[in-house]
């Protein structure tokens, strides 16, 4: 375990680790060769910077750590590689934490809430993953391990949690119900300022979220057609963005069919300056 990570973090990822990763994850293998090369280097840098911790006796192997690193770095693939006044650039998007805690299965997280009478309620919530602002990322390995199979449904746990990290870099919106918005440069979606860029972001994201939430309500309460996108996306605007990121990266063509109005937002952010054909 950890043979390459512990001894050779500064050397290129060996073929013996990289090629099996591509064989197990078709959505990575289908990337153009130059993009695979850059993803490989991003993954190496990621592994050199982050610390993995296996919970409940889970032993983290090189291949496990690499699988997480490559999927975490996928959303950074076409973002600017150098920091600017408005955006961190490269792995700077993940610069607010070091630790990645990997559990064998779902995680029981302690929670606390206060009701209208001021009574504090403590309980445990079952989670598949969690991204904490300024803190570590938590992942369920059994769900990470099935990333290729779950891609058919447009889901990916690692991308979900790291999409939260990306959004958190911009801070919470003035209206907390809107959630986090990643830092956006002037010019995003034709905006003239960073403030206008944020307004343009929510002008596309909010109606898409509200429309999807209505679809989920119809499906669950009135026996309507089930949604292709994970219904969990209806929980909050933050979750809608993170779930949308999963589908965008592992099932781009299907996502474009389901959410054509969101493609300018997703492409405008994740592929700035690129003319991308579906």
Residue 275 is predicted with a pLDDT of: 40
Query: To which residue do tokens 């199979």 refer?
Result: 149
Do 177 and 154 belong to one domain? no
Q: Which pLDDT band holds residue 6 (cuts at 50, 70, 90)?
A: low
Q: Alpha-carbon distance 50 to 215, whole Å?
A: 39
Do 121 and 93 belong to one domain? yes
Residue 57 is predicted with a pLDDT of: 95
DSSP annotation of 123 reads E
Residue 276 is predicted with a pLDDT of: 41
Q: Alpha-carbon distance 73 to 20, whole Å?
A: 17
Do 47 and 177 belong to one domain? no
Do 74 and 206 belong to one domain? no
Do 14 and 99 belong to one domain? yes
In this structure, the chain runs to a length of: 278
pTM value is 0.91
Task: Give mean pLDDT, residues 225-245.
Answer: 97
Q: Among candidates 235, 236, 231, which has minimal Cα distance to 247?
A: 231
Does the pLDDT of residue 220 top 70, yes or no?
yes
Do 268 and 196 belong to one domain? yes
Q: Alpha-carbon distance 35 to 253, whole Å?
A: 18
Residue 172 is predicted with a pLDDT of: 87
65 DSSP β-pair partners: none
Do 112 and 244 belong to one domain? no
Burial of 203 (0-12, 13-18, 19+ CB in 10 A): exposed
Q: Which residue has the higher pLDDT, 124 or 257?
A: 257
CA distances from 227 to 57, 67, 160, 245 (A): 37, 28, 18, 16
Query: What tens digit of pLDDT does each residue of 128-158 get?
Result: 899 999 999 999 999 999 999 999 999 999 9
Residues of the domain holding 209: 171-278
Q: In this structure, are residues 209 and 220 in contact, taking their beta carbons and an 8 Å threshold?
A: no
Q: Alpha-carbon distance 108 to 215, whole Å?
A: 30
Task: Give mean pLDDT, residues 116-132.
Answer: 70
Burial of 158 (0-12, 13-18, 19+ CB in 10 A): buried
CA distances from 133 to 166, 171, 172, 202, 235 (A): 10, 9, 10, 21, 19
Number of domains forming the structure of the chain = 2
Do 151 and 239 belong to one domain? no
What percent of the chain lies above the pLDDT cut of 70? 88
């Amino acid at each position: 375990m950890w043979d390459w990570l512990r001894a050779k973090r500064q050397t290129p990822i060996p073929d013996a680790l990289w090629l099996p990763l591509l064989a197990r994850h078709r959505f990575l293998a289908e990337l153009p060769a130059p993009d695979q090369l850059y993803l490989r280097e991003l993954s190496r840098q990621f592994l050199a910077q982050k610390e993995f911790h296996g919970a409940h006796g889970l032993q983290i192997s090189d291949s496990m750590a690499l699988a997480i690193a490559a999927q975490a770095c996928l959303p950074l693939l076409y973002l600017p590689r150098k920091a600017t006044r408005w955006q961190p650039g490269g792995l700077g998007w993940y610069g607010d934490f070091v630790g990645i805690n990997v559990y064998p299965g779902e995680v029981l997280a302690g929670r606390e809430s206060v009701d209208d009478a001021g009574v504090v309620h403590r309980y445990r919530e079952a989670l598949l993953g969690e991204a904490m602002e300024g803190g570590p990322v938590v992942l369920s390995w059994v769900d990470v391990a099935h990333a290729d199979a779950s891609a058919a449904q447009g889901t990916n746990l690692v991308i979900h949690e790291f999409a939260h990290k990306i959004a958190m870099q911009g801070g919470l919106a003035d209206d907390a119900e809107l959630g986090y918005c990643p830092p956006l440069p002037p010019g995003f979606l034709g905006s003239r300022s960073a403030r206008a860029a944020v307004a343009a972001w929510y002008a596309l994201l909010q109606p898409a979220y509200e429309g999807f939430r209505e679809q989920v309500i119809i499906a669950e309460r009135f026996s309507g057609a089930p949604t292709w996108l994970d219904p969990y996306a209806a929980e909050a605007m933050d979750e809608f963005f993170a779930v949308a990121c999963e589908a965008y990266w592992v099932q781009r063509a299907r996502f474009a069919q389901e959410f054509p109005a969101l493609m300018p937002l997703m492409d405008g952010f994740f592929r700035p300056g690129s003319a991308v054909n579906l």
